[in-house]
Amino acid sequence: MFLKKFAPDLYVQSIYDIKLDLLKKQGINTIVTDLDNTLVEADSPDFTPKLVKWLDDLQELGFKVMIVSNNSKLRVSNFAEALTVPYIYRAKKPIKTAFIKALKQLESKACETALIGDQLLTDILGGNRMGLYTILVTPVSEKDGLGTKINRRIERLIVPRMKKRGMLP
């Protein structure tokens, strides 16, 4: 069914609500994450100590991590390099190309990879098309880039239909 392509496997308030030990038990060892409004507010250059701790926790638990963002080279490289996390910019999600590249670089399989993102039309759709375990988070802030604003309008049409069918809590 059409809506199913947009349905996340898991829906949490924020990245900090993801039970990392449970992911591990599910056989997931790789995390591919969106940047804007998933890790921090859209276009904010600042990362929080909490985010640094979260990334440390991931590493400690043995997860491989990559940031895959549709944003520009400047935005993504500045942010990711400061955190020493590998990244792909201008990913063109939901197109699969960047995810294929990410998995290749990380030497991970789709079935052992989780995708985290705040948008149904880019992150979740793309992750589902790749067969990743998709995790939707509530956007960190209401501030969105221009392209995202359009996507949000479409989301607002899709979300009530998904809720009606029990595909989103």
Burial 2-19 (b: 16+ CB within 10 A, else e): eeeebbbebbbeebeebe
Q: Quick one: 1 exposed, middle or buried, by C-beta within 10 A (0-12, 13-18, 19+)?
A: exposed
Which CB atom, from 28 or from 36, has the smaller least distance to Mg ion?
36
The smaller minimum CB distance to Mg ion, of residues 69 and 108, is found at: 69
Backbone dihedral region of 133: left (phi > 0), alpha (psi from -120 to 50 degrees) or beta?
beta
**How far apart, in whole angstroms, are the C-alpha atoms of residue 113 and residue 162?**
24
For residue 142, with 0-12 CB atoms within 10 Å meaning exposed, 13-18 middle and 19 or more buried, which class applies?
exposed
To Mg ion, the closest distance from the beta carbon of 122 in angstroms equals 7
Taking the least distance from each CB to Mg ion, the nearer of 17 and 27 is 17
Least Å distance, CB 107 to Mg ion, is 25
Q: Which is nearer to Mg ion, 137 or 168 (CB)?
A: 137
Footprint of Mg ion on this chain (CB under 5 A)? 34, 36-38, 118
Q: Is residue 27 within 8 Å of residue 62, measured between CB atoms? A: no
Query: Cβ 26 to Mg ion, closest distance in Å?
Result: 23
Residue (1 or 159) nearer to Mg ion, CB = 159
Which is nearest to 33 in space by CA: 87, 104, 77, 92? 87
